[in-house]
Amino acid sequence: MIIAQFYHTARRPHRALNLTAVRHRNQLEWANAHIRWNLALWRGVLFMDESRFSLYKADGRQRVWRRVGERFADVNVVDRVAQGGGGIMVLWCYGQRTQVHFIDGILNAQRYCVEFLRPIVVPFIHNRHLMLQHDNAWPHVARICTQFLKAENIPVLAWPAYSPDMSPIEHVWDALDRRIRQRVPVPANIQQLRTAIEEEWTNIPQATIDNLINSMRRRCVALREANGGHTRY
């Protein structure tokens, strides 16, 4: 019997990351620059991130016992899906969130600009007078995207490199991951996984998201007390 499983592969390297002196200094400077931000300023930030959810393990293998001559029997073969199920993009700010946007294939700078920044981010920010936060992943900081955001007068929150513990969205990924794992039955195919992601993203209490934004000043304090190093977040 093969039991369907899914795996969340959010980027959370900070526990094992060896921070250099330069990164310590940059993160400390960022903390000092934002530690005096009041809650109203943080509530004016649109947090945006993407992550990948997959039905399959990272090594792509499932082990089974089989008899001689059964190597290619249907019961011993599992169909694969390109990208293991694909990624998702979410946007949220205090009191508001967008629907889930699915990403098929690899997200490069061109796709990020054409499929997300232009049709989704720009109208959302202009209508609500917000500031954009995204991390320093290459599609986000490529010239085509930075020039586009500048041309559209989209303010972008400076973000320190290699600092996922400062991003409240990492906790949102955790909450979404737990909710999907607790579903009965768990998703057994890609369409069920996508449906589960959409439903559980909607089911995360808004208070949970708002409380994470409320924690931003505490995160800055913790980062300063750690002298720009790792924090408990």
> Residue 82: what pLDDT?
41
61 in any annotated domain:
no
Domain assignment present for residue 56? The answer is no
Asked whether residue 161 is domain-assigned, the answer is: yes
Q: Classify residue 25: in a domain, yes or no.
A: no
Helix, strand, coil percentages (3-state) for the chain, rounded to 5, are: 45, 10, 40
In a domain, 70, yes or no: no
Q: Calculate ∠ Cα 20-217-88, nearest 5°.
A: 75
The pLDDT score that the predictor gives to residue 72 is: 45
The reported pLDDT for the residue numbered 196 is 95
Cβ–Cβ < 8 Å for 151, 16: no
Q: Where are the alpha helices (DSSP H) in 49-114?
A: 109-111
Query: What confidence score (pLDDT) does residue 26 get?
Result: 92
Q: Is 116 a member of any domain?
A: yes
The per-residue pLDDT string of the chain (233 residues; one tens digit each, 9 = 90 and over) reads 333 444 565 544 444 455 688 888 999 999 999 999 999 999 999 999 999 888 765 444 455 555 555 554 445 444 444 444 568 999 998 989 998 999 988 899 999 999 999 999 999 999 999 999 999 999 999 999 999 999 999 999 999 988 878 989 889 999 999 999 899 998 988 899 999 999 999 999 999 999 999 999 999 999 999 999 888 88
Structure tokens at 26: 């940059």
CATH of the domain at 122: 3.30.420.10
Q: How many domains are contained in the chain?
A: 1
72 falls within a domain: no
Domain limits at 191? 34-49+90-225
Continuous segment of H or E residues that includes residue 45: strand 45-54
DSSP 180-233: HHTSSSPP-SHHHHHHHHHHHHHHS-HHHHHHHHHTHHHHHHHHHHTTTS----
Q: Collect contacts of 214-221 with beta carbons under 8 A, ≥24 apart.
A: 214/39, 214/42, 215/168, 216/34, 216/37, 216/42, 216/168, 217/35, 217/37, 217/38, 217/39, 217/42, 219/165, 219/166, 219/168, 220/31, 220/34, 220/35, 220/37, 220/166, 221/31, 221/35
